Structure 1
Amino acid sequence: MIALLLNIFLITFIANPTIESDKARWKPYYLDIAPSATATDWYLPFELANRKDMKQIKVISIFGDHRDSFLKSHIHTAIDINPAKPIGKLVSVYAMATGIVCSVHLGENQKTVVVRHKLADGSTMFTSYKHLKEVYVQQGQQVGQKTKLARLFTVQESKKYRGDYHHLHLEIRKAFDDYGCASWLTMNKQQLNLRFYNPMTFLKEKL
């Protein structure tokens, strides 16, 4: 763990990486495999009374604002969300639609699952779920909206890392050619629009 943190520090704060210079480091976590079925129906990623009702989630941070974590003024590539009324102490995260798990990264406080989806027009897109405490799926696993991918940190567990990790960082991606590093290395609107959809717009259109 110490070696991993040192590596992140050296690359992030000394080398001043870009998406292009850093993406090869994350490629081993990606499996280039296509879903077996088409995603035609979409749901919110939590256990809720109605997974089609946007009012049942609470938005903590919006898409496209500037952040000072990792690299100063990088752009937030997601929305940070929680259930408005959690069913229990442990919040489970579910796949939003039919797809296949193409990436699992198990950094201690940054566990990430990425699901690749095939759309009706034959195109591909990705949903990315970050800030996961426990992951229950593996690369190459076909999933659907009832598949439990992971669970979030509790408030108490999040405090261990001196950060705010008890929420879901939800990305809706057009591409995954960066293998994940664009999540913290996106520095301008061109990079943002190249790889990411606004999750709020996407959800309003698909639910």
Structure 2
Amino acid sequence: MKLILFSLLFLYFKPIAPVTIEQDKERWKPYYTDAAPNAIADSWLLPFDVANRKDIKQMKVISIFGDHRDSYLKGHIHTAIDINPSKPKSKYIGVFPMAKGIICSVHLGENQRTVVVKHKLSNGQIIFTSYKHLKEVYVQNGQQVDQLTQIARLFTPAESKKYGGDYHHLHLEIRKSFDDYGCASWLTMNKIQLNLRFYNPLMFMKEKL
């Protein structure tokens, strides 16, 4: 119920004037759980159930990182890549963590539903992976996960039509921080803000896979 009410507030009570990340982030904080992963993220995989989750060719990129968008606020920068498996095993595409971690945020609703996983690297660095446009979510805040934990599934093309857009893909972010609690996904307006909080997911995967 809380998630549904929050989604309605997001859809119908957007600020009239443009807001900044600093102005907007506090309303997202209640959806964040500050907990530590109990395992090191020492192995990285594609977020889909494909024949070889180490083979980057088994995913297709629909939209690139860093281009300008007109959704929500005109001119905001795409903080992710939009992807799908090249050869899905089923029309119901499962989404999996790219590495071991802990669920730290489940926020938004409907076609924007988002799950964020917090990871600890072997050098002690903390990073986050964020998975958006989820039809169903199967995890909750504070849950430890690994690469075999199905956290969600994507929309089918038919289910996506309800919202008048193309939502049957995964919006995948690799984050250096989550200090904005999620709002930087649509309030990032320049390259400085982009580079402060986000890695290019495609470059990250080419390095880690």
TM over 0.5, shorter chain: yes
Could you report, residue by residue, the CA deviation over 1:39-60 in whole angstroms, capped at 9, with x for unpaired residues? Answer: 0000000000000001100000
2:142 aligns with one of 140, 143, 150: 140
Tell me the TM-score normalized by structure 1: 0.96
In structure 1, give the amino acid aligned to 2:82. Answer: D
2:83 aligns with one of 76, 81, 84: 81
Could you report, residue by residue, the CA deviation over 1:133-166 in whole angstroms, capped at 9, with x for unpaired residues? Answer: 0000010000001010000000011000111110
Q: State the number of aligned residues.
A: 206
- CA drift at 1:106: 4.3
- CA drift at 1:15: 2.9
Query: Does the Cα contact within 8 Å between 2:69 and 2:75 map onto a contact in 1?
Result: yes
Please list every run of 5 or more consecutive structure 2 residues that lacks an aligned counterpart in the other structure.
Answer: none
- CA drift at 1:108: 1.4
Please list every run of 5 or more consecutive structure 1 residues that lacks an aligned counterpart in the other structure.
Answer: none
Corresponding residue for 1:150? 152
- CA drift at 1:96: 0.5
Could you report, residue by residue, the CA deviation over 1:165-203 in whole angstroms, capped at 9, with x for unpaired residues? Answer: 100000000000000000000000000000000001100
Could you report, residue by residue, the CA deviation over 1:107-139 in whole angstroms, capped at 9, with x for unpaired residues? Answer: 111111000000011110000000000000010
Q: CA separation in 2, counterparts of 1:199 and 1:98? A: 17
Corresponding residue for 1:109? 111
In structure 2, give the amino acid aligned to 1:21. Answer: Q
After TM superposition, the runs of 4+ consecutive aligned structure 1 residues lying more than 6 A away are none
Query: Percent of aligned positions with the same letter in both sequences?
Result: 72
Corresponding residue for 1:63? 65
Query: Does the Cα contact within 8 Å between 1:100 and 1:117 map onto a contact in 2?
Result: yes
Query: Does the Cα contact within 8 Å between 2:68 and 2:75 map onto a contact in 1?
Result: yes
In the alignment, is residue 43 of structure 1 matched against residue 36 of structure 2? no
1:26 aligns with one of 22, 25, 28: 28
- CA drift at 1:4: 4.5
Tell me the TM-score normalized by structure 2: 0.95
Q: CA separation in 2, counterparts of 1:143 and 1:82? A: 21
In the superposition, relative to structure 1, how do residues 101 and 151 fare at CA in structure 2: closer, same or farther (>3 Å)? same
- CA drift at 1:3: 8.3
1:96 aligns with one of 93, 98, 117: 98
In the superposition, relative to structure 1, how do residues 4 and 97 fare at CA in structure 2: closer, same or farther (>3 Å)? closer
Query: Does the Cα contact within 8 Å between 2:45 and 2:98 map onto a contact in 1?
Result: yes
Corresponding residue for 1:159? 161
1:53 aligns with one of 39, 52, 55: 55
SS of the equivalent of 1:148 reads coil
In the alignment, is residue 191 of structure 1 matched against residue 193 of structure 2? yes
Query: Does the Cα contact within 8 Å between 1:11 and 1:17 map onto a contact in 2?
Result: no
In structure 2, give the amino acid aligned to 1:11. Answer: K
Task: Name the Cα RMSD after superposition.
Answer: 1.4
Corresponding residue for 2:14? 11
